[in-house]
């Protein structure tokens, strides 16, 4: 009914803010209260258990079953005291969401009663009935099993009445079926490789930790408007909708004041974050209307990723208390900014040194240059892989659109670092290394710390930018599991650092000093990796042409971007770092292609349904009104007057009739294209067919219907319009 849109709009605009429930305690008093953190461990575990457990966590040692019983007992006691009744293994299957299966703590006690039970066995390992999770053929439902296994490095936490235990998800043969397993492996690979390189500079480094600070962008939409849009409800994206006359031209939303309703939501969200130990730090409006961002203080990479996964689900829950829906889709609205999830990445030593931070003396700066150059080199060699790691059907609508980084990976370093690298590249060893009693380095880089304070020329168009003491990977989409880009980056850098050590050792074995060897290898890397460095406007068309000339990966088709995972150099890189083997890579690609197919399939179905059952009937009704009108004009006026007075209507009817015809034809053609694609059995081929033959119709049909939206009577248009969806009162 035509009233549905107005009903929803009216309800949405009369909505009052739901006031947040803010505890009357300071954040420091309740931070982490729903986490089995060190404070809780200390209280609920014996001294001995506490010591062994924290030692195992800090040193990546395995934990035996017997010992796990003690931990489980303490965890259960802590949880029961907090009114928890259930527990679940919480894991991250390959479909970009988290999964859990709740079991009650209770067991029969043999006397007809029940007791609260939670053993080490249940803590350590479970076999969820997970046959419906994507496995890319690694686990056929009838023959093989999937296991979840406790990840002690990420603490258990409580959501509602359930104790959630972060776990990895693997096939019975040991292959990874999730994001967490290879992420942990990549963190370990990077630790090993970076510690080796650190030995050139420090004696006391024995551990290197990877840090991740994500920034989560999202949209909020009023619940009733959301429900009145089947496309939002089913795909999280508006498949239709003409741009509103005002959107983000005035930039008045960005850093503007946050609407009260939203602010109340944010307050509740932050309280929940703090209780769960998520160190939320900044919140603000983003560039588009109704778009916001939350960023925490950075943390160890695996924990940070768990926190991001947790945040996304907490966000959805809290939003509903406030009569909102959160949209984590990368491009919910055409014509305005999409949402990303910037991943700020750095590596640091057990001695407190950020390896991507310039030091105070020349040796430290050589270390700094070493890690920066190796990172750039890794990004250069694996630029196609990094792009594949964030490629998805949904992120494709954002990448390459005019606000987002393009679908080409390049790095921005800023003038200072560029000058230093150019200087090194063009210097001879004699220029920079002066031999006195001890070989000392004169890299001309002594002033980096001072210079960097000035490094404010941040290039927002670069997908991978150096920002003073970290790299910011900006291409990941808002719904991405950070594990995917992070494990690709960690592994590529780990592999690169291994290569670096080999090259340095070769030169040293040939009689060169350590400094000379490092200098020579870096110099060759600086030369080789030059094509990845780009400080200009990454959104310009010239860059696309230039990137192609430089040999960077410019593939735009998501199904083809995934091929980067199976290139021989990628397979070797992942094998040598022990992060993923070929079988796992192949299986994971199957999953990626399959997910791509399904996403496009759903969009195509929803759009077909919207077109034929929601839009066309209403448009035809309007067309009849116009036809009726001209018939009556004809009856009322003489021919000459009629011709003149009905001119507009007749031309409108013609346009509308033509568009109805175009939409119907294209919907039919889209259905045909889908049927043809569905007959293909190979996932890769099928995904390519969906990309090449189905996606174009989605855009074309939308274009026609958006034109119709501007012609048809506003009173009867069946869907909430952009201006109604996007401007929160
Ligand atoms: P901007 O929007 O300008 O990029 P924000 O303040 O929103 O900056 O986000 C910066 C992010 O970078 C935060 O998530 C922060 O925790 C993270 N960050 C800061 N320093 C580091 C670091 N050394 N390693 C990793 N992440 C970092
Ligand atoms: Mg940022």
Over residues 13-50, the pLDDT tens digits come to 888 889 988 889 999 999 999 999 999 999 999 999 99
Ligand 2 center from residue 215 Cα (angstroms):
6
How confident is the model over 247-261, as a mean pLDDT? 68
List the shell of residues around ion ligand 2, using CB closer than 5 Å. 215, 342
- Residues having CB closer than 6 A to ligand 1 are 211, 213, 215, 282, 295-298, 342, 344-346, 354, 469-470, 472
Over residues 309-324, the pLDDT tens digits come to 999 999 999 999 999 9
Whole-number Å distance between alpha carbons of 216 and 282: 10
Q: How confident is the model at residue 126 (pLDDT cuts 50, 70, 90)?
A: confident
Helix axes 180-198, 301-321, angle to 10 degrees: 140
Over residues 425-463, the pLDDT tens digits come to 888 776 665 443 344 445 555 545 554 544 545 667 789
Q: Which residue minimizes the CA distance to atom 17 of ligand 1?
A: 213
> Relative to the CA of 215, which ligand 1 atom is closest?
14
Question: What pLDDT does 442 receive?
Answer: 53
Ligand 1 test: best mutation among 344, 358, 474, most atoms within 8 Å of CB?
A: 344
Whole-model pTM: value is: 0.94
> Relative to the CA of 284, which ligand 1 atom is closest?
7
How confident is the model over 588-614, as a mean pLDDT? 97
Over residues 348-389, the pLDDT tens digits come to 999 999 999 987 777 788 899 999 999 999 999 999 999 999
Q: Which residue minimizes the CA distance to atom 24 of ligand 1?
A: 346
Ligand 2 center from residue 214 Cα (angstroms):
8
What does the CA dihedral 76, 80, 83, 86 come to, rounded to 10 degrees? 40
Q: Residue 283 pairs with which residues in a beta bridge? A: 294
Q: 208-222 and 433-435: which strand pairing?
A: unpaired
Ligand 1 test: best mutation among 187, 190, 213, most atoms within 8 Å of CB?
A: 213
> Relative to the CA of 354, which ligand 1 atom is closest?
23
Over residues 145-180, the pLDDT tens digits come to 788 999 999 999 999 999 999 999 998 888 999 999
3-state helix, strand, coil in the chain (%, to 5): 50, 15, 35
Whole-number Å distance between alpha carbons of 324 and 574: 42
Ligand 1 center from residue 215 Cα (angstroms):
8
Question: What pLDDT does 499 receive?
Answer: 98
Question: What pLDDT does 129 receive?
Answer: 65
**Torsional class of 102: left (φ above 0), alpha (ψ -120 to 50), beta (otherwise):** beta
For residue 80, count CB atoms less than 10 angstroms from its CB and return exposed for 0-12, middle for 13-18, buried for 19 or more.
Answer: middle
Name 380's Cβ contacts closer than 8 Å, sequence gap at least 6.
Answer: 528, 529, 531, 532
Ligand 1 center from residue 213 Cα (angstroms):
5
Q: Which residue minimizes the CA distance to atom 13 of ligand 1?
A: 213
Q: Kindly state the DSSP code that residue 2 receives in the 8-state scheme.
A: T
Q: Which residues of 191-219 are buried (b: 16+ CB within 10 A; e: fewer)?
A: bebbbbbbebbeeebebbbbbbbbbbbbb
Nearest to 389 by CA among 186, 196, 538: 186
Over residues 620-667, the pLDDT tens digits come to 999 999 999 999 999 999 999 999 999 999 999 999 999 999 999 999
How confident is the model over 411-430, as a mean pLDDT? 85
Ligand 2 center from residue 472 Cα (angstroms):
7
Q: How confident is the model at residue 411 (pLDDT cuts 50, 70, 90)?
A: very high
Q: How many CB atoms lie within 10 A of CB 51?
A: 11
Confidence check: pLDDT of 143 > 60: no
Question: What pLDDT does 237 receive?
Answer: 97
Whole-number Å distance between alpha carbons of 283 and 507: 50
The ligand minimizing its distance to the Cα of 464 is: 2
Ligand 1 center from residue 359 Cα (angstroms):
20
Whole-number Å distance between alpha carbons of 338 and 359: 37
Is residue 716 within 8 A of residue 5, CB to CB? The reply is no
Ligand 1 center from residue 470 Cα (angstroms):
8
Is residue 135 within 8 A of residue 146, CB to CB? The reply is yes
Residue in the block written with tokens 């803590």: 123
Q: Kindly state the DSSP code that residue 719 receives in the 8-state scheme.
A: S
Between 22 and 409, whose confidence is greater?
409
Which strand (E) or helix (H) includes residue 259? none
pLDDT mean across residues, the chain: 90
Confidence check: pLDDT of 686 > 60: yes
Tokens representing 65 are 């079953």
Over residues 48-107, the pLDDT tens digits come to 999 999 999 988 888 888 889 999 999 999 999 999 999 999 999 988 788 887 888 877
Give the 3-state secondary structure of residue 148. Answer: strand
Q: Kindly state the DSSP code that residue 257 receives in the 8-state scheme.
A: P
Between 400 and 531, whose confidence is greater?
531
Ligand 1 center from residue 210 Cα (angstroms):
14
DSSP H helical ranges for 426-581: 429-432, 448-452, 483-509, 514-528, 541-549, 558-561, 568-576
State how far the alpha carbon of 346 is from the alpha carbons of 194, 210, 234, 349, 467, in Å. Answer: 12, 6, 37, 11, 10
How confident is the model over 492-503, as a mean pLDDT? 98
State how far the alpha carbon of 447 is from the alpha carbons of 365, 420, 429, 468, 522, in Å. Answer: 9, 10, 20, 14, 19
Q: How confident is the model at residue 403 (pLDDT cuts 50, 70, 90)?
A: low
Tokens representing 706 are 């958006």
Nearest to 692 by CA among 608, 596, 552: 596
Residue in the block written with tokens 């040692």: 61
């Amino acid at each position: 009914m035509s009233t549905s849109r107005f009903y929803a709009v009216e309800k949405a605009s009369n909505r009052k803010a739901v006031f947040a429930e803010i505890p009357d305690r300071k954040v420091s008093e309740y931070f982490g209260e729903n986490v089995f953190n060190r404070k809780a461990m200390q209280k609920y575990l014996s001294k001995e258990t506490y010591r062994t457990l924290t030692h195992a966590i800090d040193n990546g040692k395995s934990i035996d079953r017997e010992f796990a019983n003690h931990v489980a007992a303490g965890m259960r006691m802590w949880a029961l005291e907090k009114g928890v009744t259930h527990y679940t293994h919480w894991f991250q299957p390959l479909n970009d969401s988290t999964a859990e299966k709740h079991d009650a703590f209770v067991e029969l006690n043999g006397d007809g009663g029940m007791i609260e039970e939670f053993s080490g066995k249940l803590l350590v390992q479970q076999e969820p009935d997970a046959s419906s999770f994507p496995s890319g053929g690694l686990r056929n439902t009838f023959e093989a099993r999937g296991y979840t296994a406790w990840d002690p490095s990420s603490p258990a936490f409580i959501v509602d009445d359930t104790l959630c235990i972060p776990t990895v998800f693997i096939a019975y043969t040991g292959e990874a079926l999730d994001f967490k397993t290879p992420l942990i492996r990549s963190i370990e690979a990077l630790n090993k490789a970076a510690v080796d390189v650190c030995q050139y500079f420090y004696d006391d480094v024995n551990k290197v930790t990877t840090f991740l600070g994500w920034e989560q962008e999202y949209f909020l939409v009023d619940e009733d408007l959301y429900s009145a849009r089947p496309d939002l409800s089913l795909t999280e994206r508006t498949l239709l909708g003409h741009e509103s006359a005002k959107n983000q031209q005035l930039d008045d939303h960005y850093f503007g004041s946050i609407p009260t309703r939203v602010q109340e939501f944010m307050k509740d969200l932050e309280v929940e974050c703090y209780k769960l130990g998520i160190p939320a730090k900044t919140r603000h409006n983003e560039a588009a209307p109704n778009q916001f961002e939350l960023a925490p203080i950075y943390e160890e990479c695996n924990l940070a990723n768990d926190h991001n996964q947790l945040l996304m689900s907490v966000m959805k829950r809290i939003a509903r208390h406030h009569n909102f829906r959160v949209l984590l889709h990368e491009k919910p609205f055409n014509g305005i900014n999409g949402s990303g999830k910037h991943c700020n990445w750095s590596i640091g030593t057990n001695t407190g040194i950020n390896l991507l931070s310039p030091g105070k003396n020349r040796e430290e700066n050589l270390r700094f240059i070493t890690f920066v150059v190796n990172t750039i080199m890794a990004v250069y060699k694996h630029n196609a892989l990094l792009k594949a790691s964030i490629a998805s059907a949904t992120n494709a609508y954002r990448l390459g659109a005019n606000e987002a980084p393009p679908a080409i990976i390049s790095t921005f370093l800023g003038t200072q670092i560029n000058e230093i690298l150019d200087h090194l590249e063009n210097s001879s060893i004699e220029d920079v290394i002066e031999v006195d009693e001890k070989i000392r380095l004169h890299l001309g880089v002594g002033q980096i710390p001072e210079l960097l304070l000035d490094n404010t020329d941040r290039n927002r168009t670069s997908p991978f930018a150096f920002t003073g003491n970290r790299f910011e990977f900006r291409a990941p989409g808002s719904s991405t599991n950070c594990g995917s880009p992070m494990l690709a980056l960690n592994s590529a850098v780990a592999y690169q650092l291994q290569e670096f050590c080999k090259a340095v050792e070769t030169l040293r074995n040939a009689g060169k000093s350590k400094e000379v060897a490092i200098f020579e290898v870096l110099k060759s890397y600086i030369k080789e990796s030059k094509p990845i460095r780009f400080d200009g406007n990454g959104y310009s068309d010239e860059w696309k042409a230039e990137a192609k000339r430089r040999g960077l990966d410019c593939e735009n088709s998501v199904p083809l971007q995934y091929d980067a995972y199976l290139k021989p150099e990628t397979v070797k890189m992942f094998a040598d770092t022990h992060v993923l083997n070929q079988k796992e890579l192949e299986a994971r690609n199957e999953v990626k292609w399959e997910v791509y197919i399904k996403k496009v399939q759903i969009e195509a179905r929803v759009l077909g349904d919207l077109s034929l059952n929601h839009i066309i009937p209403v448009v035809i009704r309007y067309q009849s009104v116009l036809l009726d009108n001209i018939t009556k004009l004809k009856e009322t006026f003489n021919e000459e007057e009629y011709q003149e007075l009905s001119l507009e209507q007749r031309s409108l009817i013609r346009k509308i009739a033509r568009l109805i015809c175009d939409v119907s034809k294209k919907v039919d053609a889209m259905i045909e294209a889908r049927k043809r694609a569905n007959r293909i059995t190979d996932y890769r081929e099928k995904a390519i067919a969906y990309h090449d033959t189905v996606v174009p119709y989605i855009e074309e049909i939308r274009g026609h219907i958006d034109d119709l939206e501007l012609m048809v009577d506003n009173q009867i248009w069946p869907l909430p319009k952009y201006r109604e969806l996007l401007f929160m009162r």
